[in-house]
Structure 1
Amino acid sequence: MKNILIAVFLLTSSIIVAQDKIVTKNGSIAFEASVPAFEEIKAKNDGVTIIINTKTGEIASLALVKGFKFKVALMEEHFNENYIESDKYPKSTFKGKIENFDYSKLTSDAKSYTVKGKLELHGKSKDITITASIKKTSNGVSIVSNFTVNTDDFDITIPSVVSKKVSKKVNVKLEGTLK
């Protein structure tokens, strides 16, 4: 009987703790590093994990670098082997906090929040501040953020042969619906 009570207590406490977090494993990150008059350079990863702690506003995300898909297979190969070195640096992470986040006040009207945290990419970390639009939907909580990343901040070298065709300022869009 004592063991049953302990098991029920542990199960109940884990359910209560789990309710403090909302998550998706199919969020997306898309980026574009195109330069006008040259071939489009963009990719998307639809297997991004995003977690928000509804009590504290802490947020974390994880993207496997090889999950980014390009229209042109050769671009994807160069991205993984030459630029990001995905065998050496297989993932990109973000850990931070949504400022003034109050889960109980989310509505179907999107509200802009400031998110501060640390982005890790290509073995380098950088503190960043971004804006995210967050709202409640019938499917959960939607988050959308558009921001720019500089390749120099993460020691991503663009070979001189293609330096005029690839932007060092990379436009990034994060989207997800968390439950």
Structure 2
Amino acid sequence: MKKLIILAVLLISQSIAAQKYFTRTGTTHFKASVEAFEPVEATNHSSTSILKVATGDIAVQLFVNAFQFKVALMQEHFNENYMDSDKYSKATFRGKLSDFSIERMKDQQEFPLNGILTVRGKKKEINTTAKVLFQNNTIKLSCSFTVKPQDFNIKIPSIVRKKIADKIIVTINYELVEKK
């Protein structure tokens, strides 16, 4: 009987350890606006993310050209002149939610989120705090952080430099479901 209980505990713990949550419809938004000028911001509704529950490891990938702007010309300039999205089609993030435990979650909790953001082939360390809510077998994860265009060798022409913020605010909102 003891062996059966131990075997059951091992199987349950392995299934929890193997649990992964994912989304292909995460929202990534950025804002690079300066007051008194037209808003420079865009949203990507097809960010893919996977979270390993046992370790807190998280990976995100998105296609740069999937960012949607309100102004089509801005979107064209973003992809062709700034992001060179034909050459650098994807942006990625690989990181970890520190001290993450799905078993101990009751309400929304905050966890340190640290990792590496790669844009245009350049890597930048990101350290922020993520808000995580586990509800109805869904993990809702949100956070924001700032980056600078020069972090990724993005050249801003002098003619528009004053219209684009020095610091770009990136906000994510992902609703992840269990991957079966």
Contact 2:17 2:54 in 1 (8 A): no
Which residue is equivalent to 2:54?
55
2:81 alignment partner, SS class = helix
1:152 alignment partner, SS class = helix
Instruction: After TM superposition, give the deviation of residue 135 of structure 1 in Å.
Output: 0.8
1:59 alignment partner, SS class = strand
When the two structures are superposed, what TM-score results if normalisation uses the length of structure 1? 0.88
Contact 1:139 1:177 in 2 (8 A): no
Contact 2:60 2:92 in 1 (8 A): yes
Contact 1:94 1:119 in 2 (8 A): yes
Instruction: After TM superposition, give the deviation of residue 16 of structure 1 in Å.
Output: 4.5
Shift of the 66–153 alpha-carbon distance from structure 1 to 2, 3 Å rule, reads: same
Distance 1:77 1:17 in 2: 44
Which residue is equivalent to 2:35?
36
- 2:102 equivalent to 1:103: yes
Q: Which amino acid aligns with 1:112?
A: E
Moved over 2 A (4+): 15-19
Q: What are the Cα deviations for residues 50-102 of structure 1, in whole angstroms up to 9, with x where unaligned?
A: 11100111011011001100000000000000001000100000001110011
Which residue is equivalent to 2:146?
148
State, as a whole percentage, how many aligned pairs show the same letter: 42
Alignment partner of 2:112 out of 111, 114, 118: 114
Distance 2:37 2:120 in 1: 25
Distance 1:26 1:156 in 2: 27
Distance 2:135 2:158 in 1: 46
Q: CA RMSD in A?
A: 1.7
Distance 1:137 1:66 in 2: 32
Q: Which amino acid aligns with 2:115?
A: G
When the two structures are superposed, what TM-score results if normalisation uses the length of structure 2? 0.87
Distance 2:20 2:56 in 1: 10
Distance 2:131 2:168 in 1: 20
1:160 alignment partner, SS class = coil
Distance 2:159 2:116 in 1: 31
Unaligned runs of 5+ in 1: 1-14
Distance 2:169 2:86 in 1: 23
1:167 alignment partner, SS class = coil
Which residue is equivalent to 1:163?
161
Q: Which amino acid aligns with 1:169?
A: K
Shift of the 103–27 alpha-carbon distance from structure 1 to 2, 3 Å rule, reads: same
Distance 1:43 1:52 in 2: 25
Which residue is equivalent to 1:7?
none
Instruction: After TM superposition, give the deviation of residue 106 of structure 1 in Å.
Output: 1.8
| Worse overlay, 110-119 or 132-141 | 132-141
